[in-house]
Amino acid sequence: MQVLYQRCAAVDIGKDVIAVAVRLPGDGPDGRQTMKRTFKTFYGVLAEAARWLTSLGVTHVAMEATGIYSMPVYHALIEHGDFGQVLVCNAGHVKNVPGRKTDLAGADWLVHLLECGLLAGSFIPPAEIKAARDVFRYRTKVAQQRVSEIARLGNVLQDAGIKIDSVASSIATKSGRAMIEAAKGKMRSKIPDLSMALEGRFGDHHALMCRLHLDHIDHLEAMIARLEAQIEAMMQPFRAQRDLLATIPGIGQLAAAGVICEIGVSVREFFDTDARLASWTGLCPGNHESAGRRRSGRRRHGNEHIQSLLVECAWSAARHDGYLKSLYHRHVMKWGGYRSPLAKKKAIIVVAHAMIVIIWHVLATGQPYDELGADYFTSRLDPERETRRLIAKLEALGHTVSLQPAAA
């Protein structure tokens, strides 16, 4: 194969040691030579490795994405080296031949792919976006912990025979929490039911557990508030893009911040088309064709963080009149109707896919969302064509159809 990069290197990353392979012009059989070294993963040693590669004139470096362990190596190369490009590659794209799995062999395999231009880097967000992403993802985790803690509190109450959630909509509301301590507010209209709901075998250990759960919930809510304040501060440079995203149905200010944290604002720089962005997020059908036969179109894993965020936004958009709600209804009916949970789940993925396409166009053009309208699909129908289609359906069922002109 043709060598595109004369001086390049690859890094195989472990928790404690990295293996580095460098390809340079030399006196080998193909006019090339390979140098291999290992380094500890202490940050100072990684900086030394970056300077060593720079001294060899290396212009391109590639490494396999290994989660959090690849980030210190990447940043050390960026900060202490002078390279034209540093690639963090999808592990599934760079698998070595079975039976040759050692760290140095992995680095050697990777550098041979790199010198021929066979590797593509993953999306690595700019530093300010990466920092906001860390904060937003942690906020999501804390919010999930709060939901789990509320569920544990509900289990304690159920064990004690207390049926508050049968009277209030949720024990997480102000009224629900107040009932745990005393009846209050609108719930006084339900005093008879409330009295029965609060009858139970509530012992001292139940009281202790409830108090601890409530204290933990308070602590988690304080953490969420603090994280949201930090997110708000970190979103100030991107306020214009966040406001544009908030014009899309189902996406609020917080969700818009989450989208920016995952894909950034310069979408054309990293994803040249909306299809590439949809593929990267994992919200479009996969391709699996062999011997002329199309097999399962199962979606790839993609970015699970933005997937869950956009699915949540899609459920919200499906409740607002407009194009996205019509799209949801159209696909629910296509796959079995509203009585089918599977049909609704498949349709919401379609809506989420449409939303990531809309997000790409909003960020790429700098224009707010243009609502197509709830009648978008029906207005595009050709009346004569639809009439012929309906007649054909009725005739296929054994009916005879005759059309009469409407009375004037």
- Chain segment 206-265, per-residue pLDDT in tens: 778 888 888 899 999 999 999 999 999 999 999 999 999 999 999 999 999 999 999 999
Angle at Cα 127 formed by Cα 126 and Cα 132, nearest 5°?
100
What region, left, alpha or beta, does residue 67 occupy, with left being phi > 0 and alpha being psi -120 to 50 degrees?
left
* Winning range, highest mean pLDDT, from 28-42, 108-122, 176-190, 252-266: 252-266
Choose from 20-24, 155-159, 186-190, 192-196 the range with maximum mean pLDDT.
20-24
pTM: 0.80
CB 290 within 8 A of CB 270: no
Q: Which of 247-256, 279-288, 333-342, 360-369 has the lowest mean pLDDT?
A: 279-288
DSSP 8-state class, residue 223:
H
Higher pLDDT, 177 or 37: 37
As a whole number, mean pLDDT of residues 54-83 equals 91
- Distance (Å, whole) CA 62 – CA 27: 24
- Give Cα 378 to chain centroid, integer Å: 32
Question: What six digits make up the tokens of 347?
Answer: 């349709």
For tokens 């029906």, the residue is 378
pLDDT band of residue 95 (cuts 50, 70, 90) is confident
Query: Per residue in 305-338, pLDDT tens?
Result: 999 999 999 999 999 999 999 999 999 998 888 8
pLDDT at 36: 93
Smallest CA-to-CA distance from 354 within 322, 384, 388 is with 322
- Structure confidence at residue 259 (pLDDT): 96
CATH code of the domain occupying 8-115: 3.30.420
Report the pLDDT value the prediction gives residue 188, as an integer from 0 to 100.
44
pLDDT at 307: 94
Q: Which pLDDT score is estimated for 100?
A: 67
Q: Is the distance from CB of 180 to CB of 210 less than 8 angstroms?
A: yes
Cα distances from 239 to residues 3, 67, 233, 242, in angstroms, run 44, 30, 10, 5
Residue 292: band (very low, low, confident or very high) from pLDDT cuts 50, 70, 90 = confident
The neighbouring-strand residues paired with 9 are 22, 61
* Residue 186: per-residue pLDDT: 42
Q: Does the structure show a pLDDT above 80 at 173?
A: no
**In 116-170, where does DSSP find H-type helix?**
127-159
CA-based angle 36:38:42, to the nearest 5?
150
Could you state, in order of their start, the residue ranges of all structural domains in the chain? 8-115, 127-237, 240-285+298-408
Nearest to 384 by CA among 392, 396, 373: 392
Q: Could you tell me which of 46, 94, 39, 54 has the C-alpha nearest to residue 73?
A: 46
pLDDT for res 130: 92
Least trusted range by pLDDT, from 137-146, 162-171, 187-196 = 187-196
Q: Could you tell me the two tokens for 322?
A: 């407009």
What does the pLDDT read at residue 293? 78
- The Cα–Cα gap between 191 and 169 comes to 15
Residue 77's identity, in one-letter code, is: L
